[in-house]
């Protein structure tokens, strides 16, 4: 996929599951469950032990059937390692311009983390494809996205933190281009119990919420 195809695909899916587990094996199983539930995108965070191996395994297994991201990428060196392991996009928790530059050098999608209006504009001007607004829930959730979209209608934003089945649709209506969901979807307790079937079911529920919100937005426009 080209970077533009990757970006279009992510926006079309509308949700990026954040896979933050305690082992590479559980991360791979969680992504299999998410994919079975219909979500064709996922992000493995660098906090997962053996994260790079997990990226390689998932990239080899799914190929173009899944848009694969590396999350919690703190520096350009890590971004490059993840790129070589098969990651299509990169997500950072904070704004580091050199990481954005690394992604752009190789025509990859980058979603840097930012919170304040100044950080968000700086990230966008540096070449961000989507700005990850984090931690969004702590700043008022959908209301915060709506407030930011006033002065920045041109900036694509994906909220992280505070996104659940109740709020996902509200975030989209507030102007988010997609949502990122962590523990509310990839639940540590379910993983510990081996209930990947319930993660698959939850993936379906999130897709239904996103579709409903998009239908309502179309109807009211």
- Residue 97 burial by CB count (10 A; 0-12/13-18/19+): exposed, middle or buried? middle
Q: Is 132 one of the annotated active-site residues of the chain?
A: yes
| Catalytic member of 32, 43, 170, 200 | 43
Q: Is 149 one of the annotated active-site residues of the chain?
A: no
CA distances (Å), 88 to each of 48, 75, 101, 201, in order?
18, 16, 15, 25
| Catalytic member of 96, 108, 132, 156 | 132
User: Which positions are catalytic?
Assistant: 43, 132
């Amino acid at each position: 996929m080209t970077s533009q195809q990757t970006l279009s695909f992510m926006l079309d899916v509308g949700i990026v599951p954040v896979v933050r587990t305690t082992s590479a094996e559980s991360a791979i199983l969680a992504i299999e469950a998410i994919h079975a539930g219909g979500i064709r995108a996922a992000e493995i965070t660098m906090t997962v032990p053996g994260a790079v191996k997990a990226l390689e395994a998932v990239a080899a297994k799914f190929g173009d059937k899944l848009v694969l991201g590396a999350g919690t990428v703190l520096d350009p060196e890590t971004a490059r390692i993840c790129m070589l392991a098969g990651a299509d996009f990169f997500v950072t928790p904070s704004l580091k311009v050199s990481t954005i530059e690394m992604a752009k050098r190789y025509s990859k999608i980058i979603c840097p983390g930012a919170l304040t209006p100044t950080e968000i504009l700086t990230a966008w001007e540096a070449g961000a494809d989507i700005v990850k607004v984090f931690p969004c829930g702590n700043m008022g959730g959908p209301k915060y996205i709506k407030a930011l979209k006033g002065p920045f209608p041109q900036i694509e934003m994906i909220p992280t933190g505070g996104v659940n089945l109740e709020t996902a649709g509200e975030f989209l209506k507030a102007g988010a281009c997609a949502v990122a969901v962590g523990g509310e979807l990839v639940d540590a307790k379910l993983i510990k119990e081996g209930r990947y079937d319930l993660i698959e079911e939850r993936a379906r529920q999130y897709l239904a919420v996103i579709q409903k919100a998009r239908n309502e937005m179309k109807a009211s426009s």
